[in-house]
């Protein structure tokens, strides 16, 4: 599994576990990139998140 898909799986797990509630904002693309040290990566362009 790619690093990018691991990040998506982690976010989904956090949502399912209740870490993020229905009206909470999840971390931004930039915050995720900073946390996982991904530079120059565009999640939307890569199709990992829908706009």
State the Cα–Cα distance between residues 20 and 15, nearest whole angstrom: 5
Containing H/E element for 30? helix 29-35
Q: Which domain holds residue 51?
A: 1-51
pLDDT at position 36 is: 80
**Encoding tokens for residue 20?**
């993020």
Cα angle, residue 45 at apex, residues 50 and 26 outer, rounded to 5°: 45
Q: How many domains does the chain have?
A: 1
pLDDT at position 51 is: 47
pLDDT at position 17 is: 94
Q: pLDDT tens, 1-51?
A: 567 788 888 888 988 999 988 788 888 888 888 888 776 666 666 555 554
State the Cα–Cα distance between residues 49 and 51, nearest whole angstrom: 6
């Amino acid at each position: 599994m790619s690093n990018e898909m691991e990040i998506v799986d982690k976010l989904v797990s956090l949502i399912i576990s209740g870490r993020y509630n229905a009206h909470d904002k999840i971390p931004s693309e930039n915050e995720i990139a900073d946390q996982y040290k991904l530079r120059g990566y565009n999640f939307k362009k890569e199709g990992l998140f829908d706009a």
